[in-house]
Chains A and B, each alone.
Chain A
Amino acid sequence: MLVNKSMFPVQAGYNVISKMNDQLGKLQTQLGTQQKASSLAEMIGGDRANSLSLRARLTKLTAYADNMTTVNMRLNFLDQAFTSLSKIKSEARTAATPGSYGENNLVMVNLQKTSQDRLSLVIDTLNAQYGGRYLMGGNVTDSAPVKSYNVIMNGQGGSAGLQTVVNERKQADLGRSLTLGDLGLPKVDIVSGPVRDGDGKPVTDATGNPVTAQNTVMLKGDGMEQLGYKLNSFTSSTTDVWAVAPDPNGNPTQIGVSFNQFPLSPSPGDTVTLNFTKPDGTDGSITLTATNTAPAGPGQFVYDPFDENVTAQNFQAALQTELSGLEGPQLGRLDVTQAALPATNTTTITQNNTVFGYQLSSVSTDSSKINVAQNAGPPATMDVKFAANPKAGESVSFELKLPDGTTTTMKMTAVLGAPGPGEFQIGADAAETSANFTMGVQATLGDLSKTTLSAASTYQASNDFFSADGHPMRVDTAGPPPVALEDAVALRDGSADTVIWYTGQQSGNARLSATAQIDDTTKVGYGVRANEDGLLQMVRTLASMSIESYPTDDVTSKGRFDAMVERQMSNLSSDTAAMDGSVEGISLELGVVKNSIGNTTERNTAYAYQLETMLTDVENVNMEQTAMELLALKTRLEASYQTTASVAQLSLVNYLR
């Protein structure tokens, strides 16, 4: 016989009690967990659907809140970084102005070091990382986007650093140094003049008249002095050769050596030394030794004991040879020549057809006697023709374009006396004036090359190295055919052998390189690329300033300082705030993102709170109500138990005896 719960005679009464017990258990569970239902099927249909969709929504909101927390932390970090960058930018901008070199040239001397410190700080800031994530590399966030300061400056392994690139470019831009001989210098003549003794006093004859003699080899300073050379004196080891001291009234300087001492003549081994000062301020000398064996070797001259004419001529030739090897100006890849026939009295400046050096832009004059002309070429040339002598004070202005895109003006003013930088002497006739003009242009270009062109070259080299597209450009010397740096004609892609300063994301929308979903339809972008235009320019400028040095004993330092500082001020000026990717611009955009995140956070918090309240309503029980139900049920159950017990007793069997 099977005992089956569904067959009678199961006492229905007991069934009800066990159901009440179940209910009691359920109420206790509800009280303990505060949830209406403890399993899926216990939830009533409407509650279940509501609960599911509310929970799905809340999960999403929690995810967004987490996202916003993460992004906020990153944004705070970026905020700090950009504040620091902004500070550096304005410091650098106001650190130096052209013309103010500081007390004892303190500002000028320290400029390189302070620029290096700033660049180092900027590089560290660009490599900012938070929680292992690099924030300024675009979407490349697992490695530092910018190379370290040392590697950038000095290179690493087989890759060249900024220093090397700048040096190469400078050589290519400045071009070859001409020698004095290339310029047709020096001017050495044999003249007759007053005989002077070893102390420079004119020798007078018995009558007190100054003695004049031929065979004085006179070295004229024009040209050389314009190039910066200072002729000091001739000295000789023997009194048989008399030095002729400079003419105090001479302008330019003229010094000479007299061989008119017949029957005295130099002996073999006697030396004549020319003392001069080089343009960079150091002293130099050339010594010529007399010899009686022909031909003369280098540094020697053959004397003729009987004919002082010959001696003088030999000395002149030897002096000319020695002096013409001295270093002249660098013309920045321009050719300045006296035009050949049939053109007369014309100076021609020819531009080279490369990206290096000066480019001719325009030429003008305010003199009626001078004709200026410009030919497009190629190669482009400018002609300055002197029809007649101009008046003193009239000028010719050249506008030259520099490698970094800036322009400079070179003004040549006519003067009557000895010409300084930017001046040319009016000679006896147009031909001489034209020759002086050529000389003046060459000297001035040489000055300009060491200051403005050098600064422009450094900046452009820095632009090439810190390229926007990740390919640094170097001067191409390989060809074919291989050329020297000074003759280079083009740039090449240096990615293989140059340090690539930035290895993050190269291009693409910078802000969208790091995004976060903060709401169903709101996505914020807070990515930054270290090679964005504004940041790139800041790095380029500071790097250029870190490379260039201004030694106090270099006369070109001040000029170079001015040129460099002028460019720094213009590159870091507050006008640049309007350009794409500037420090200020990025700060502003990030600020907007932070703002929108703040608003969304508030909105989401309020919404989440509402949803949680609704969810509580749907899923949770009212504690008081449950307690009351529990109490009521307990009472009923107790009553049932009692009743059942009494009823069970009520059986006739108990009462029969």
Chain B
Amino acid sequence: MGLTVAIGNALAGLKANQGSLEVLSRNISNAGTPGYHKQSLNVIEVGRGDNSYVRVGQVSRAFDQTLQNYYTKQLPDSSYANTRANFLDRLQTYLGKPGTAGSLDTTFGSLQTSLDALATSPDNYAARADVVSKAQDMVSTLNRLTTTIQGLRQEAESKIATSVGELNDQLKALQEVNLGLADYGMDQNTRVSMLDQRDRLVSQIAEKIDVRVDYRDDGTVALSTRSGMSLLDVKRSIFEFEPSGGMDASSTNSGKLTLLTPSGSRVDLVSNNVMQSGSLAALVELRDKTLVDAQRQLDDIAAALAKTFSTVQTPATPVAGGGYEIDLANPTNGVAPLAPSYQNGDDLLVAYRDASGATRNIRVVNSAGTVPPPANYVDANGDDVFYADLTQPSAALSNTLNGMMAAKTPPITGVAFSDNAGKLAVTGSGGVTINSMTARTTATADQDGNLALPLFLDANGNGTPYTGSIDGQGQKTGFAGRIQINAAIVADNTKLVKYDGAAGSGDSARVDYIVNQFKTMKFSSEYRAAPELGNFRLNGTLGDMVTQTVDYQGATISDALSKSDAQGLSLDALTSRMTETYGVDVNEEVARLMELQNAYAANARVVSVVQELLDTLMQSVGR
């Protein structure tokens, strides 16, 4: 009958309203909850003839897969940029703004100034003490920067460890959510909130590692990295991290990050370059590339600093016919002061003008006893660097060098080494003229008559001179953290001036030599920055290198900061889109509430009216 139908409709309507109110109240109460997608109730009209009533359908959740994918793609990128920016921002405060006290370039500048003042007044105790103190400033700046950088690397390591722990927890939770979602028997409301939880977890995972999300029909997801490694597909993969224990400049590869797939195979994430974006990738890159490059640049500066002070240059004697010869075991031919003997890392520099008129250099670095012999290379200035044993007899040495020159592509022609009664001789032919040949060895004594001074020592072995040998990991690695001032010179700062016992107190020869070295001695780093960082190499005089380092690091950091800003902006744009699409608009809900309120009241009124009508009917029929 119509009335029963009406009550039935009204009751259905009431039920539908209640359901809607439930959803609405959920929406309003969760309006500020992060990760909450707007829910709405599907109300279905069920119609059969006159019996068209409403039935509560499914709760639908606002979800745009494209938008979500876009968001999931943006998250790791911005997280990557943020992480880099945070770390590098701290580094820049240690480097200091150019011109401020304590910055690397200011410290270097004041060292130079104090040396200039010392050259004018070598007899003045205050001037000498100033040089020592500025040198100590330089040393402590380098040490401090090394400690900072290594500290940042250590921090990156520990952050990787915690991230890995979190990542594993999140993957586990996601796996459980997946299992729950796969169960069709779950009640709808629970299902919807599980979907929210699923999205939250995916976002959190995406921040750490770049993922590609596969949304299945049943709501479960399969995660894999952008490079194709599966993270979660019903079963999760487990991240494993072995920390290195201690971080110092020499450990360039440390802490293994591996992924244990459900099938049991382990993949090294770092060496296989699995992670392309996300905070984990940022941390690994910082630890292994960016900070290591910064450390290497500091090492180059420290090495150049030590060598500028302590290199004794002994020119070869010219021979008739345009060549030069030198006895490497006795470069000064017995004339005092004797040049120090060759150590690993000392070198022999041959400057020549080739047939086309360009000036080129060949630098032969002593690597006696280094096994395996290091590879020759071409440095940033275009000069050839050969590694050979300079302590061997000159006949064997000249054969080795000639062989090395011929083995290059293209081979070096026109320069020939030979043995001349125990001396190493070099001659040019075919348009090539030899300009000079200089033996460069490292001074080991303070006052043996040589003008060079071993002011900066390597803390290894309790204060050995720095020669730049490449045995083992190379003496240069981490030298910025080990550089220290020669304690003998701190104790007696007249050694800055007196190059032998009899030198006059006002004799500025040693200081003049060092000031000249600052101007003329050129270095070229063999470290090359990573290709993605521009393949940058330091070269030039010590001052040039300091400027280049500060400039380069400043550029890198500034770049990272501005990238982070840019990523933040695009993430902001996405989030505001998502707010529009998924977010709860309280006004809308309240308006809907008003509607529902009215509808509920109307339905209740209908019920009560029908009830009255039925009562009236019953009354009228019942007498």
Q: Which of A's residues lie within 8 Å of B, judged by CB? A: 1-4, 6-12, 15, 37-45, 48-49, 51-53, 55-56, 59-60, 62-64, 66-67, 70-71, 131-134, 137-143, 504-505, 513-517, 520, 527, 619, 651-653, 656
In the complex, what residues of B have CB within 8 A of residue A11's CB?
A: 579
Does B506 contact A9, Cβ atoms closer than 8 Å?
Answer: no
* Count of A-B contacts judged by CB separation below 8 Å: 193
Does B506 contact A517, Cβ atoms closer than 8 Å?
Answer: no
Chain B 548-561 interface mask (CB, 8 Å, partner A; 1/0): 00110111011011
Other than the known A6-B207, A40-B557, A651-B587, what 16 A-B pairs have Cβ atoms closer than 8 Å? A7-B203, A41-B558, A41-B561, A43-B98, A43-B558, A48-B98, A55-B106, A59-B112, A59-B113, A62-B113, A63-B116, A66-B116, A67-B117, A134-B506, A140-B504, A141-B504
Known contacts: A45-B558, A517-B515, A652-B587. The answer to whether A40 contacts B97 by CB under 8 A is yes
Does A139 contact B504, Cβ atoms closer than 8 Å?
Answer: yes
B78 in contact (CB, < 8 A): yes
In the complex, what residues of A have CB within 8 A of residue B31's CB?
A: 9
Could you list 25 A-B pairs, sorted by A, with CB under 8 Å?
A1-B33, A6-B79, A6-B207, A7-B200, A8-B576, A9-B579, A9-B582, A12-B579, A43-B558, A48-B550, A52-B98, A55-B109, A59-B112, A60-B112, A70-B120, A138-B506, A140-B505, A140-B506, A143-B505, A513-B507, A515-B512, A517-B119, A652-B586, A652-B590, A653-B586
B534 in contact (CB, < 8 A): no
In the complex, what residues of B have CB within 8 A of residue A52's CB?
A: 98, 105, 547, 550-551
Most buried by B among A41, A142, A517: A41
Our pick among A10, A48, A67, A520 for the contact of B554 (Cβ within 8 Å) is: A48
Our pick among A39, A51, A141 for the contact of B123 (Cβ within 8 Å) is: A141
Inter-chain CA distance A8–B575, complex, in Å, is 5
Inter-chain CA distance A434–B335, complex, in Å, is 66
Closest to B34 in A: A7
Overall SS of chain B's interface: helix
In the complex, what residues of A have CB within 8 A of residue B584's CB?
A: 9
Our pick among B96, B122, B543, B586 for the contact of A40 (Cβ within 8 Å) is: B96
Closest to A53 in B: B547
Q: B570-604: which have CB < 8 Å to A? A: 571-572, 575-576, 578-579, 582-584, 586-587, 590-591, 594
Number of interface residues of B (CB under 8 A): 70
Chain B 95-126 interface mask (CB, 8 Å, partner A; 1/0): 11111000101100110110011011111100
In the complex, what residues of A have CB within 8 A of residue B594's CB?
A: 656
Inter-chain CA distance A10–B561, complex, in Å, is 22
Does B112 contact A40, Cβ atoms closer than 8 Å?
Answer: no
Closest to B114 in A: A63
Inter-chain CA distance A63–B120, complex, in Å, is 10
Closest to B508 in A: A515
Known contacts: A6-B207, A48-B98, A656-B590. The answer to whether A66 contacts B504 by CB under 8 A is no
Does A51 contact B590, Cβ atoms closer than 8 Å?
Answer: no
B75 in contact (CB, < 8 A): yes
In the complex, what residues of B have CB within 8 A of residue A515's CB?
A: 119, 508, 512
In the complex, what residues of B have CB within 8 A of residue A48's CB?
A: 98, 550-551, 554-555, 558
In the complex, what residues of A have CB within 8 A of residue B124's CB?
A: 131-133
Q: Which of B's residues lie within 8 Å of A, judged by CB? A: 31-35, 75, 78-79, 88-89, 92-93, 95-99, 103, 105-106, 109-110, 112-113, 116-117, 119-124, 200, 203-204, 207, 503-508, 512, 515, 519, 543, 547, 550-551, 553-555, 557-558, 560-561, 571-572, 575-576, 578-579, 582-584, 586-587, 590-591, 594
Closest to B99 in A: A55
Q: What are the 8 closest A-B residue pairs judged by CB atoms, nearest first?
A: A141-B506, A139-B504, A139-B507, A59-B109, A140-B504, A142-B505, A41-B557, A41-B558
In the complex, what residues of A have CB within 8 A of residue B558's CB?
A: 40-45, 48
Known contacts: A59-B113, A67-B116. The answer to whether A137 contacts B34 by CB under 8 A is no
Inter-chain CA distance A656–B575, complex, in Å, is 30
Inter-chain CA distance A56–B32, complex, in Å, is 55
Inter-chain CA distance A143–B34, complex, in Å, is 82
Does B505 contact A139, Cβ atoms closer than 8 Å?
Answer: yes
Does A7 contact B551, Cβ atoms closer than 8 Å?
Answer: no
Does B35 contact A7, Cβ atoms closer than 8 Å?
Answer: yes
Closest to A516 in B: B120
Inter-chain CA distance A64–B561, complex, in Å, is 39
Known contacts: A40-B553, A515-B512. The answer to whether A51 contacts B98 by CB under 8 A is yes
Does B505 contact A45, Cβ atoms closer than 8 Å?
Answer: no
Closest to A62 in B: B113
In the complex, what residues of B have CB within 8 A of residue A45's CB?
A: 554-555, 558
Most buried by B among A8, A11, A133, A651: A8
In the complex, what residues of B have CB within 8 A of residue A49's CB?
A: 547, 551
Inter-chain CA distance A9–B572, complex, in Å, is 10
Our pick among B78, B97, B547, B561 for the contact of A6 (Cβ within 8 Å) is: B78
